[in-house]
Every structure is written in C-alpha cells, then in structure tokens.
Amino acid sequence: MEFALVLLALSPAALDALGWTFADRKRLLDHFLRSGKAAQGIGPERLGTTPIELNLPQRDVDRLQHFSRRELPKGASNAAMLDRVLAALDAASHRHRAD
C-alpha cells in the first residue's frame, strides 16, 4: 500500500521526469488495485509476510524498477518494504528476460 501511496503523491513534474503520463500512473495503480483485491482473503496477521503477485508487462516492470530506485526512497518510510519491492522487481525482470 505504501508503494501505491508514493505513486499517487508524484507531482506532474516528477511524472514527467520519469517519462510517465497520468495514464501510465493509472495503469500501474490498477495493477496494485487488482493485487490488493486478491489479498483481501489473507488474514491481517499474515499480510505483511505473504507475497502478493502482480502480473505486469516487462515495460511496467522496467518503469517500476526505475521509479523504485529514483523516487521511492524519497517517499517511503519503510526501508524493509523498499528492499522487498526492489528484490521482487529484479526477480520479475530476470524472469521476463529469460522467457
């Protein structure tokens, strides 16, 4: 959730610096919304440690990797979350490139 909140907080100038449009951001947030709906059945005590799957095209994985390294450290308050996101995006990127 914190990741999505940082995405929402991006100013138009920050979006432009990332080479994104509002439609790009909306598409990325829609990925998070779908995964959030899938996570609704997970108990609150397990939610923080349960992997939540996102199905993303490689171009969005690339965009989120760039965003995670450039912008997320400025807006995220949870360093462990940042580490998990970066590790997951790196793993997803390697899987896509191996296909």
Please report, as a single letter, which amino acid is at residue 66.
Answer: H
Confidence grade of residue 60 (pLDDT, cut at 50, 70, 90): confident
Rounded Cα distance between 50 and 55, Å, is: 16
pTM for the model stands at 0.62
Whole-number average pLDDT of the chain: 77
Q: How many CA atoms lie within 13 A of 24 on its CB side?
A: 17
